[in-house]
Structure 1
Amino acid sequence: MALKDDLTSQIGAIFKNSWSETKGRVVPVPSDVGLGNKGTLLEQAVVLYADLDGSTSMVDTMKWQAAAEIYKTFLLCAARIIKSENGDITAYDGDRIMAIFIGENKQDRAARAALKLRWAELQIIEPQMKVVYKNSEFRIKHTVGIDISDLRAVRTGVRGDNDLVWVGRAANYAAKLTTLSSDYPTRITKALYDGLSSSLRISNGKPMWEERFWTPMSDMKIYRSNWWWSFA
């Protein structure tokens, strides 16, 4: 069958066939979800995106080995911290990482992971980089976005070469929040903030989050933070 005819047939089937959905109790991997019109629902899942800021400047001004080391160290810290808070890493995409948190205290665990990454940036990655690259003016910065919503995993691609796409507000909003300024590395939606315990809202009597309005998103209420969570 010619490529055009084959694609026309398959695309038509995707649009016309009905969908089936199952509820997930764990974060699925591609093999858990069928290739047809099938989805796995995660109810009120928390999505975290962490993105290294300034990558273009980094690769334009630093040797490739140094850039590679920064990528590796940032993603290593992010991954280890996410796992320490029982999050599931679902994707690496260049200089960013996506994770999903389900189960008890998922809002707290995701927010704490973000604040731990801020601490790791300041107390581990940057100081270790400066030991080797003493004269470099490059500063490591990052952004984290977190949201919560129903989320559906859908398998995309072709047999033998496929992955999951995550359909739901949390995946989109968490990713969009990482495009905002790294002056405040951590941003969360109101829906996420409302589920935080007091220990993740207040520290020594001071609020850890500042309420803002996300202008491009119809003045949606979000919260930003410059705080960190030490794990020394």
Structure 2
Amino acid sequence: MSEFENKIHDDVRGIFKSAWTETKGQVVPKSEDLGLSNVGRSISATILYADIDGSTQIVDRYDAKFAAEVYKAFLLCATRVIRLNGGDVRSFDGDRVMGVFIGDSKNSDAAKTGLQINYLVKKAINPALKDQYTSTKFSLRHTVGIDTSEMLVVRSGIRNNNDLVWVGSAANNAARMNSLSSDFATRLTPAVYKKLNEKSKFGGNPRRNMWTSADWNGRTIYRSSWTWRP
């Protein structure tokens, strides 16, 4: 084997053989807080993924600069609302952003964020887009998925090329819900729903539940098409 392949084999074996050092966390860690060895930070977190619906079609059907403007506008709005509600922006993946919420109100904060992103898509992004491109029929649609669980945060990659990886059901479920219909822009799991405060659960006049239950591959989730002005 080459020197490169020998090094790969040694490093992979080292990952599986090395003992773990795990600590409990009360704050969202940064990359420099964790080493590249088997070191992890356990944290109770609510994960929000916000994603543009049909981004592949946008790139295929429209000019690249137009698509880039749509991406930039959406990610700007999503990241600002995540931060407005106390969340940490921890991952960008093309047209998608991940927000991490911790603390006693993490579920309500994340749900509020989802509804406020929906507001900005409808009231800020699409009107501005139509004003600039008067002949276009395009209208931005998006999805937000939210779940909560214990997460193990690890640092993965190589020196000078690494990032935090969030291992746990919340990140997986939140990301998977992004693939559902954008007719209901915001979705969350029962674990999040049962922890919502009154303001994040009920809206309107008279007050009524902003969330309805739905089936998702044999599981119950909650979805909403409501908006919330930031």
**What TM bracket, shorter-length normalisation?**
over 0.9
TM-fit CA distance, 1:50: 0.1
State the alpha-carbon separation in 1 of the partners of residues 177 and 186 from structure 2: 9
Question: Share of identical aligned residues, percent?
Answer: 44
Structure 1's unaligned 5+ residue stretches are none
Distance in 1 of aligned mates of 2:198 and 2:213: 16
CA offsets per residue over residues 107-154 of structure 1, 9 Å max, x none? 111100100000000100000000011111111000000000001111
Partner of 1:41: 42
Q: Residues of 2 paired with 1:166 and 1:128: CA distance?
A: 35
**Aligned match of 2:214:** 212
Structure 1 equivalent of residue 229 of structure 2: 230
SS in 2 for 1:120: helix
Are residue 17 (structure 1) and residue 9 (structure 2) matched? no
Task: Tell me how far apart the structure 2 counterparts of residues 18 and 178 of structure 1 sit (CA, whole Å).
Answer: 35
Q: How does 1:112-123 map onto structure 2 within 5 Å?
A: 112-123=112-123
Note the residue ranges of structure 2 that are not aligned, 5 or more in a row. Answer: none
1:161-199 residue CA offsets vs partner (Å, 9 max, x unmatched): 111110011010000011111111100000000100122
Shift of 1:24: 1.4
SS in 2 for 1:89: strand
Paired residue type of 1:27: V
1:127 aligns with 2:127: yes
- Cα distance between partner residues in 1 of 2:199 and 2:156: 39
Which residue of structure 1 aligns with residue 97 of structure 2?
97
Q: Distance in 2 between matches of 1:10 and 1:37?
A: 12
Instruction: Tell me the residue number matched to 2:80.
Output: 80
Report the alpha carbon displacement of residue 205 of structure 1 after superposing the two structures with TM.
2.6
TM-score by length of 1: 0.95
CA distance in 2, matches of 1:54, 1:10: 39
CA shift at 1:87, angstroms?
0.3
Residue in 2 aligned with 1:163?
163
1:123-202 superposed matches below 5 A: 123-202=123-202
Partner SS, residue 126 of structure 2: helix
| 1: CA distance, partners of 2:131 / 2:62 | 16
SS of 1:8 mapped into structure 2: helix
Q: Look up the equivalent residue of 1:19 and give its one-letter code.
A: W
Partner SS state of residue 212, structure 1:
strand
Question: What secondary structure, in the 3-state scheme, does the structure 2 residue paired with 1:112 have?
Answer: helix
1:1-52 per-residue CA deviation (whole Å, 9 max, x = no partner) reads 7111111111111111111101112111111111111100112x10000001
Q: What displacement does 1:60 show?
A: 1.8
Report SS of the residue matched to 1:176.
helix
Shift of residue 209, structure 1, vs aligned partner = 0.6
SS of equivalent to 2:116: helix
Task: Choose 134-143 or 56-65, whichever is displaced more.
Answer: 56-65
Equivalence map 1:51-70=2 (5 Å): 51-70=51-70
Distance 2:39 2:139 in 1: 44
Distance in 2 of aligned mates of 1:13 and 1:64? 43
Amino acid at match of 2:169: R
Q: Report the TM-score, using the length of structure 2 for normalisation.
A: 0.96
Q: CA RMSD in A?
A: 1.0
- Quick one: distance in 1 between partners of 2:223 and 2:84? 23
Q: Which moved more, 1:81-90 or 1:50-59?
A: 50-59
1:206 alignment partner AA = R
